[in-house]
Structures are given as C-alpha cells and as structure tokens.
Amino acid sequence: MSSNIVLKRGLDIPVKGAADRRVMREVEPGTVAVNPTVYKGLVPRLLVREGDPVAAGSPVLADKDRPEILFTSPVSGSVKEIVRGEKRRLLAVVIESDGKGTAVDFGACDPSSLSREEAAALLLKSGLWGGIISRPYGVMADPSVSPKSIFISAFSTAPLAPDTNFSLGHEVEAVQAGVRLLSRLTDGGVHLCLSAETYSASPFHKIEGAIVHTVSGPHPAGNVGVQISHISPIRRGETVWTVPIQAVAAMGRLVLTGKLSLMRRIAVTGPAAEDHAYVEALPGTPVAEIVKPGENVRVIDGDLLSGRTLAHDGWTGFFTDQITLIREGNETELFGWAKPFRPKLYSSSPCYFSWLTPWKKYDMDTNLHGGQRAFVETKCFSDVTPMDIFPIYLIKACLAGEIEKMEKFGIYEVLPEDLALCDYVDPSKNDIQAIIASGIDLMIKEMA
Amino acid sequence: MAAENSTPRPGLFEKGGKLGWLHSTADAFETFLRVPGTVTRRGAHVRDAIDLKRVMIIVVIALVPAALFGMWNTGYQTSTLYGLGWGFWMCFWKGFLRVLPLYIVSYAVGLAIEFASSQIRDEEVNEGYLVTGMLIPLIVPVDVPLWMLALAVAFAVIFGKEVFGGTGMNIWNPALLARAFLFFSYPSKMSGSEVWIHAPKGVDAVSGATPLALAGESGVSALSGDLSFWHLFLGDIPGSVGETSAIAILLGAIILIWTGVASWKIMVSSIGGALLVGWLGCLGGVTDVPAWYQLVLGGFLFGTVFMATDPVTSAQTECGKWIYGFLVGALAVTVRLFNPGYAEGMMLAILLMNTFAPLIDHCVVSASISRREKRIRTA
C-alpha cells in the first residue's frame, strides 16, 4: 500500500552552511548529560545521587507517574552533578565518563520473535522509550496504548537538515532491526517515508517490514506530521506514534548487540559555523565539545525553524542530530524596509527581489526584520502549509482557547514544527509556533 | 543608594523617562528610519525580510500612478471647462496645488489620531494609515472643503479602526468609511454635477457632471466625443481625484498582483460580476450601456483594485475571495442600474461585502470542515 505523495506548497529557505558529507571528528565523551527537558510530558524522578557509579544503560531517571519508563546513562562512569533550575526543576544529570565502556547487557535478540510486551519492556528498561513521540500533541508515548500505526520519516527537509543517507547510510541493518522491533508495538504497521528525489540512491528503500512511501516537495514535506496527514490523518481519539530515524537506529543497535549504543553522526551547520560537516558524538555531549561558538552566536539544537536554543555551556539532548550556529542579528539597519534592494537579505515575497537570484544562498541572522503587528496578510500561511487545514483559523482558535474549534481546524494533526514556516513568512512577525504550542498545552490540560 | 545607581536610568522616550508618555511616537519614528535590532525569542530563529512596512509601501507605490494622473486631470478639467488653455505642466502644477492640501489634511489628521491611540493602547504605531491616508484624497471630489475631509478622516479612523483595536482588527475599509461619511453627511458637496471640477477663483461653478451620472440619465448616447470609451479608459474625464484613469489603476494592479500584496482572485471575480450584471442589464433592457463600459465608469476599477482587495476587510479564504469579489462587482453594477439617484454603487457594494466577508469565510470553512471529516472517516 505504498504511495507517492507530491506536495506543492512549502518553502525551502536558502541559507548558507549545509554540512559536507564527511565526519570531521569523533567527540570522546568526557562528561555527558541526561537531559529530561527534551521529552514533552515527562515529570522526572531521580534514581541516582551524586557520586553513584553507572554503566551505559543503567537507569538514571524515571517518569514520575509511569515508573516503568526509564532514562538511562549513555556512558559508564559516575554521576558528577545534578543540575537544577528555577523552582528546583531538574535540568540535567551530568555523568563523568570513566572511558571503560562498561555496559548493561539487555541481551541481543531477533526482534521478530518478541511479543508486544517483550518489545515494549526492552525499550522501557533500556531508556529508548522516550524516543517514541505520540500524536496528537507530540508527547512521550504511553506504554499502555497500542497506536493506530507508527510513522518514521527517513529524511528531513528543514533548513540545513542532516542528510540521513549519509548520517545513517552505514547503519541500514540497525534501522532494519529497529523497524522490526517497532512493528511489534502496533497492529497498524510501520510507515517509512522516503524522499522521492533520493529514493533510488537511498539505502533505506530495501527496508522490509514497513510500508514505504515516497514524498516530494519543499519543506515541510519531510515533517512526519505532514506525511501522516496525507497518508492516514489522525481522528479524534486515535493515537499515532512517530519515531525519529536516529532513535530507530539506536533501537536496532540495541537488539542487534544487546547493548545501549547512542553514538551518532550530528551535523554541524549554519552560517556562523566554522566548519560544516558531521561529528560523531553521544546525545548529551556538552555544546563546547562539539562547536566553538563566537561571542554573538546562537547555538541551536536542531534546525533554524523549530530547534531549541542551547546555552554555550549547555548540553545536547536525546534527539539532537543537528547543531546550527547563527549570528545574533541585534544590529539596526538604516532605512531597511524602505530600500528598493536589500541584496544580503532573503525574502520569499516578491515585495523584494530575491526571486531574481534563485541560486543564491544567504548568510542569515536572527533579526526579526520588523515589529510585531496584528494579522494582516494571511494567505502566506496556507502557501507554506501543505496540509488540509486553514492555518489562520487554527491559529486564531488557539489564541481564543476554543477547544471545539481547535479540534475542527485540525489541532490533532499538527505540532508547532509543522507550522514553523508560518513563523518565518509572517509579515506581522507573530510567533505562530508558540501560539500552536499553547493551544496544544490547553488541549492536553482539558482533554486529560 | 547603590541599588538605585545600579539600575540604568530610562532614556528620554523610554517608559519612566521624562517624555515616556511619547514612547510609541518616538518608537514609530525610530523604526521608520531604522529596522530595529530585535532578535527572535520564540519560534523560528530566522525570519523573512518582509514586514508590514514593506507591504504597505508597496501599496502606496502602486497608488502613485493614479495619484499623479489625478493631479494632472484636476488641472486639465478646470482648464478645459473654463477655457483656460493650460499646458501639460501647468495642468499638473495647478492640480498638484489643489490635491496637496487634501493629502496634508488626510495624513495630519489620520496620523495624529493613529499615534494618539497607539499611545493609549501602549502599542507600536501601525503603518496601516500610510495606505488609508494615500487612498482618501483619491476618492473624494477635489473641491471637498478641508474641514469636512478632516471630520471624515477622524470619523473613519476612530470609529472604523481604532475602536476595533487598530489595523488588522477593523471590519470595514477605513478609506471607504471616510467617503461614506462625507456622502451621507454632506450629500450636496459629494454629488450633483458641480463638485467634480474645481472652479478658479471669482468664476461661477459650471456643471461638469461625471460620465457615470450622464450615462445613468441618458444611457450610452451620453458617452461619445470627449466621453468615448477611449477617454473613459484614459481617464481625462470628471470624477474623484484618483478614480478616473483605468490605465493608471491597471499599472497599480500589476504591481499589487506581481508582489502578491492584493488578491488577483478578488479583482478578476469582481470584474466578472460586473460584466455579468452589466450584460444582464442590457439584455433585460434596464440600460443600453454595454457591460464593458461599467468597468471604466466611476470608481469601479479603483475600488476593485485598491479597496475590495484590502487583506484585512476582504474574505480570507481563497474560495471565499472568489465569492466576495464576484458579489462586490455584481452589487456595484446592480446599484448603478437600479438607483438613478445615486449612480456610484461601488462604495456601498464594498462596504456591504466587507460586512459579509466573515460570513462568506464561515460558510467556506464549514464546508471544508465537513468535507474533511468525511475524508478522514473514509481514510
């Protein structure tokens, strides 16, 4: 039942700084953090104290309400520090590596022979369960639920996104094993979405045990939410799980070797990065060990549209597969909007002249390029949202906090990342993703 | 003391500063000259270079051909009617001197209110009035008394826009509200045949009826000679300042459509609606004016291109835009055909459809939702 989906609407932002297809170095872990803030819906409970010894795969945190969901250390060593923020909110458990590589043995197995319960138990105790994201709302998956289906997007169209064919091309076996393991968790099957442009060159098109779809079009064609809405839209009361492809590979390595191994290729990208290539590093590696950002540079975990800002002394997280560096645009520009030409800036709108140079890549910064206003131009939102929804009505329903309207306008089908381009194109400079996120939070609260 | 010293003193125009109550105004001038160094805090880390100031300035630029032509035509009409024999530049200069005060009043009154209400709401000044202020002088008769214009502008900005919360929140097009205010409050100055052409000092005003009024009275036979289709298209005819020249308006339309600032769907469907009703009118014997004349008569084209397409007050959905535009065109011509007392239907057609735009959108969105639910059910 595979299908080819052709999307027309969307936008590829022409920004400089894509990663070359090479590994520049391997980051030897000195300290690594287990970071609970990257999992939506997790209330963490600490299982270790400072000084406790841990092995790779031994539990460090658990979910407070569902204690079977564990979060484990990626390295062996000892707990160095427990970092808390405001109101004693747990930010990170920092583990100092001893370099010995001792690891908990979960037992290698053939994923096809596992029952649903066995497969779930393996993921729960190894700490990889947190890699499963449940839709609607994009929260951590509930182990007691059997989802309608599981979706994996094997490519990303986000600005400067890592090329999965390179970052995971050498791990097709692990991805295959991961897909087999995940298929034990659902009766609806695992859907794997590949880019139609690189389909024939992709090492993933031979993956078995999954329904393979090809998708073509500009960003957000690679977003799993957009793919779901075209393949099997989410109705009220249904649950669909999605798993980032890096997590699928980690699950595959777990069943192939019996050990937790999270080492992965992370793309270092962005106009302010000195060298654009991949590093091999563990999730939780300190930012400073991967990149050396300058004074006025923002470090982003993820892409330019929906990544989260990292402190220069912060840590990457479980989902990190890309680090983007970009200059802070905190300078004023004389007569900016009134100049006929602004060759250094990109605009998707014909009100500027970027359309004259379609081949050009731009050195972007974080300037807002204007002041916040009420919504005026709204057609631009639907132009970049290739889904069967009316973005402006969904946004307004979220602003008004009207549950019933949010439902009708498709809140179940979207996460903020799916409307990230609306943020980008809006001439009124509203923070659409934040509005959608607040709508989703309201839904979680009201529908619980 | 130390703690007091450590907090930096607010700048002159910052909140808490000496002139802090003027901070919206200071901010407006500041951001007018320089794009501020604000960086993204939430959401997408990079943003498009486009902002509302750029969108608005594009509309203003699109209006320039109509405004320049209107200035020349104002002088030309006076010169022709009173036999003054002015040359091209003299016509333009005299017209410029007549239109300039309208612009000064429009911008001074409108911007003053806009700044004051932004200050009261404690928001940044919105650039929406740049367009409204440019539009208003183009849709009034050139001899409108300035105090009336000031009153109309004040009414339109306060009751048409600010009470709803400013640009983006308004229901009706503010420029059209100003014209409607003038029309209903001072009908003698806004209609009839003596208001359209400026009379030089010391000369009694001579009748200079608009072709639209003449066509309403005596049909297509009135539209010949100096009022032939070509002249109507060129625009050297009596009428409101900026509405007469189809060529100048079409130049603006090209800019608006190319930049995507205004919807071509609304323009096309409005013209379609007008042609259809115009044709039906001919067919049914209501008028003998051919349908295509409706497009170049009166303020139809100006309204279609610059007023009906206002992104705030028009329909928001793409399907809704087709319906909205069609009804604007159809209603405007219907009013022309059946209301001999007031020949120009465009203003009321657009204001009425502004009112109904949310309803059109509601129907379109509801239909889409039920279709969507069906699709999901079968998926």
Q: With an 8 Å Cβ cutoff, are B126 and A334 in contact?
A: no
Q: Does residue A206 fall inside a structural domain?
A: yes
| CATH number of the domain enclosing A285 | 3.10.20
- The whole-number average pLDDT for the span B19-44 is 79
**Of B24, B38, B45, which to mutate for an interface test with A (greatest number of A Cβ within 10 Å)?**
B45
**Mean predicted lDDT score pLDDT of chain B:** 86
Which residue among B312, B318, B379 sits closest to A376, beta carbon to beta carbon? B312
pLDDT at A437 over 60: yes
The reply to whether B184 and B282 lie within a common domain is: no
Q: Residue A85: give the domain boundaries.
A: 29-97
Per-residue pLDDT tens over the stretch B89-145: 999 999 999 999 999 999 999 999 998 888 888 888 888 899 999 999 999 988 889
Q: With an 8 Å Cβ cutoff, are A345 and B49 in contact?
A: yes
The reply to whether A198 and A217 lie within a common domain is: yes
Query: Among the three residues B261, B287, B315, which one is the final residue of a domain in this structure?
Result: B261
- B268 versus A377: the higher-pLDDT residue is B268
Span of A11-25, A425-439, B228-242 with lowest mean pLDDT: B228-242
Q: With an 8 Å Cβ cutoff, are B258 and A368 in contact?
A: no
Predicted confidence at residue B205, as pLDDT, reads: 66
The reply to whether A212 and A114 lie within a common domain is: yes
- The whole-number average pLDDT for the span A40-46 is 93
- Beta-ladder partners of A103: A56
The reply to whether B271 and B182 lie within a common domain is: no
Predicted confidence at residue B202, as pLDDT, reads: 65
Chain A to chain B, count of Cβ pairs less than 8 Å apart? 190
Span of A421-425, B16-20, B79-83, B253-257 with lowest mean pLDDT: B16-20
Q: With an 8 Å Cβ cutoff, are B47 and A392 in contact?
A: no
Give A-chain residues touching B372 at CB under 8 angstroms: 388, 410
* Residue pair B65/B250 in contact by the 8 Å Cβ criterion: no
List, in sequence order, the alpha helices (H) in B161-307.
174-185, 187-190, 211-218, 229-234, 246-259, 264-283, 291-296, 300-302
The reply to whether A172 and A213 lie within a common domain is: yes
**Of A322, A376, A438, which to mutate for an interface test with B (greatest number of B Cβ within 10 Å)?**
A376
Residue A11's nearest CA partner among A422, A416, A342 is: A422
Measured CA to CA, the distance from residue A233 to residue B376 in angstroms comes to 6
DSSP letter at A233 equals P
Query: Among the three residues A257, A289, A304, which one is the final residue of a domain in this structure?
Result: A257
The reply to whether B79 and B227 lie within a common domain is: yes
Q: With an 8 Å Cβ cutoff, are A364 and B46 in contact?
A: yes
Distance from CA of A157 to the nearest CA of B (A): 15
Span of A39-43, A261-265, B5-9, B81-85 with lowest mean pLDDT: B5-9
- A212 versus B223: the higher-pLDDT residue is A212
Distance from CA of A370 to the nearest CA of B (A): 5
Q: With an 8 Å Cβ cutoff, are B168 and A374 in contact?
A: yes
Give A-chain residues touching B376 at CB under 8 angstroms: 233, 235
Q: Residue B292: give the domain boundaries.
A: 263-379
* Residue pair B356/B316 in contact by the 8 Å Cβ criterion: no
pLDDT at B303 over 90: yes
pLDDT at A257 over 70: yes
The reply to whether A77 and A34 lie within a common domain is: yes
Predicted confidence at residue B325, as pLDDT, reads: 96
Classified as helix, coil or strand, A93 is strand
Query: Among the three residues B261, B279, B306, which one is the final residue of a domain in this structure?
Result: B261
Which residue among A326, A335, A393 sits closest to B365, beta carbon to beta carbon? A393
Per-residue pLDDT tens over the stretch B356-372: 999 999 999 999 888 87
Give A-chain residues touching B259 at CB under 8 angstroms: 349-351
The reply to whether B158 and B57 lie within a common domain is: yes
* Residue pair B235/B247 in contact by the 8 Å Cβ criterion: yes
Predicted confidence at residue B2, as pLDDT, reads: 40
| Per-residue confidence band for B4, with pLDDT thresholds at 50, 70 and 90 | very low
The reply to whether A130 and A225 lie within a common domain is: yes
Query: Among the three residues A44, A74, A97, which one is the final residue of a domain in this structure?
Result: A97
Which residue among A364, A369, A388 sits closest to B372, beta carbon to beta carbon? A388
Domain count, chain A: 4
Q: Does residue B5 fall inside a structural domain?
A: no
Give A-chain residues touching B38 at CB under 8 angstroms: 330, 367-368, 371
pLDDT-above-90 percentage for chain A: 84
Domain count, chain B: 2
Query: Among the three residues A230, A257, A284, which one is the final residue of a domain in this structure?
Result: A257
**Of A301, A367, A385, A399, which to mutate for an interface test with B (greatest number of B Cβ within 10 Å)?**
A367
Residue A60 sits at φ, ψ, to 5 deg, of -120, -40
- The whole-number average pLDDT for the span B170-185 is 92
Q: Tally the C-alpha atoms within 13 A of residue A144's C-alpha that lie toward its C-beta.
A: 4
| Per-residue confidence band for A303, with pLDDT thresholds at 50, 70 and 90 | very high
Q: Does residue B273 fall inside a structural domain?
A: yes
How is residue A134 written in tokens? 């449940």
How is residue A280 written in tokens? 């091999």
**Of A16, A149, A349, which to mutate for an interface test with B (greatest number of B Cβ within 10 Å)?**
A349
Kindly tell me the sign of the dihedral angle through the C-alpha atoms of A341, A347, A351, A355: positive
End-to-end, the C-alpha distance of chain B in Å comes to 70
- The whole-number average pLDDT for the span B177-199 is 81
Residue B215's nearest CA partner among B140, B298, B283 is: B298
Predicted confidence at residue B343, as pLDDT, reads: 63
* Residue pair B74/B89 in contact by the 8 Å Cβ criterion: no
pLDDT at B195 over 80: no
Span of A303-312, B21-30, B81-90, B197-206 with lowest mean pLDDT: B197-206
pLDDT at A66 over 80: yes
Residue B42's nearest CA partner among A10, A436, A269 is: A436
The reply to whether B226 and B86 lie within a common domain is: yes
| Helical axes B318-338 vs B264-283, angle rounded to 10° | 30
Q: With an 8 Å Cβ cutoff, are A370 and B44 in contact?
A: no
Per-residue pLDDT tens over the stretch B316-339: 999 999 999 999 999 999 998 887
